[in-house]
Amino acid sequence: MSRPVNASGPRTRQAILDAALSLFADKGYFGTTLRDVASAVGVRESALYNYFPGKEALFEAILAAESGGRSELVTAMIEDPSFDVRARLEEFAEFVLDRFVQPRQEQLFRVLMADGIRLAREGRINLLERLGNGYPRMVALMSRLVSTGKLRSADPDLLVTQFLGPLLFWRQLYATGSKKALIRNRHAFAKAHVDQFLLGAGSTASADSRARRARIA
């Protein structure tokens, strides 16, 4: 066996990534061998090393490929001091939940749930970063919101935990096939979640403004 018929280098590389993600989701990271991946793609095991030096590098490539998009959105919020906090946090929450329901993200989550703790303990991946959807950037964002008075003074790490926790719990419920209303309508959940988050973390000025608007209404 060699490369699949009519497959270019980039196509073969993508075929390897696709096959590996599927196998990792079904058999676990530790239960999958490079021979399994090669067999699924239709190449010799030795041919995989033309693309990846080993299974760990292959897994890192999968993680990197699935992390695009979210960083740009968080960076835009960090760099723009004038944005509407509620609107942008809702946008981010909806973006996260929309990604969670994508088939490849579902497969990746199954891998992380099965073997993520062991991978993290062995120092192979940063599990908090992978599950937390860009954790370090979120810490930077919360720090910026606190420093500009858009959120109450609080530990940015704690704020990130409070914000991401319900989203990750939603992901777990979705992965189990839950039929709860909050799972069926993820966009309504995102809005309700941000409302609840800001009730506790929103600045006093924001709370006073909401109270004034309520009295006027």
Domains and CATH numbers, the chain: 9-63 (1.10.10.60), 66-216 (1.10.357.10)
The C-alpha atoms of residue 94 and residue 161 are separated, in whole angstroms, by 17
Q: What is the pLDDT of residues 94-136, one digit of tens each?
A: 988 998 999 999 999 999 899 988 988 888 777 666 655 567 7
> How far is the CA of 59 from the CAs of 44, 64, 166, 214, in angstroms?
19, 9, 27, 51
Mean pLDDT value across the chain: 84
**Structure-block tokens of residue 33:** 């061998």
- Burial (CB < 10 A; 0-12, 13-18, 19+), residue 153, is exposed
Distance CA 96, CA 62 (A): 18
The token pair at 216 is 């006027």
Q: Is 83 left (phi over 0), alpha (psi -120 to 50) or beta?
A: beta
Does the structure show a pLDDT above 90 at 163?
yes
Q: What are all long-range contacts of 126-133, with beta carbons under 8 Å and residues at least 24 apart? A: 130/63, 130/67, 131/168, 132/160, 132/164, 132/168, 133/70, 133/96, 133/99, 133/164, 133/167
Global pTM value: 0.78
Arithmetic mean of pLDDT, 169-182: 92
**Both tokens assigned to 86:** 């509620």
CA–CA distance, 198 with 203 (Å, rounded to integer): 8
Q: According to the model, what pLDDT value does residue 2 have? A: 46
Task: Give the pair of three-digit tokens for residue 189.
Answer: 């959940």
* Mean pLDDT calculated for residue range 182-191: 93
The predicted model gives 144-161 an average pLDDT of 91
| Residue 50 pLDDT greater than 70, yes or no | yes
pLDDT digits (tens, 9 = 90+) for 94-105: 988 998 999 999
Which position has the higher pLDDT, 28 or 7? 28
